[in-house]
Amino acid sequence: MRIALLGGTGDIGQALALRWARDTDHEILIGSRDPEKARQKADEYETELDSVGVEREVKGFANEMAADRSDVVVLAVPAFHVQDTVEAVADRIEDADVLVSPAVGMDRDEDGFHYKPPKAGSVTELVADAAPEDVPVVGAFHNLSADRLANLDVELGLDTLVVGDDGDAVETVAQLAEQIEGLRALKAGRVANAAEVESMTPLLINIAMENEGMHDVGVTFE
Ligand SMILES: NC(=O)c1ccc[n+]([C@@H]2O[C@H](COP(=O)([O-])OP(=O)(O)OC[C@H]3O[C@@H](n4cnc5c(N)ncnc54)[C@H](OP(=O)(O)O)[C@@H]3O)[C@@H](O)[C@H]2O)c1
Instruction: Give CA–CA dist 199/24, Å, rounded.
Output: 30
pLDDT for the residue numbered 94: 83
Atom of ligand 1 nearest to the CA of 105: 47
Contact 83, 77 (CB under 8 A): no
Contact 122, 198 (CB under 8 A): yes
pLDDT for the residue numbered 187: 98
What is the value of pTM for the model shown?
Answer: 0.98
- Provide the CATH topology of domain 2-210: Rossmann fold (3.40.50)
Instruction: Please work out whether the CB of residue 100 comes within 6 Å of at least one atom of ligand 1.
Output: no
Atom of ligand 1 nearest to the CA of 85: 33
Of all protein residues, the one whose alpha carbon is nearest to atom 26 of ligand 1 is: 77
Report, as ranges of residue numbers, the positions in the chain whose pLDDT lies below 70.
none
pLDDT for the residue numbered 78: 97
Helices within 29-152 (DSSP H only): 35-51, 63-68, 82-89, 123-130, 146-150
Contact 107, 116 (CB under 8 A): yes
For residue 143, report the distance from its CA to the centre of ligand 1, in Å: 14
Instruction: Please work out whether the CB of residue 10 comes within 6 Å of at least one atom of ligand 1.
Output: yes
For residue 44, report the distance from its CA to the centre of ligand 1, in Å: 17
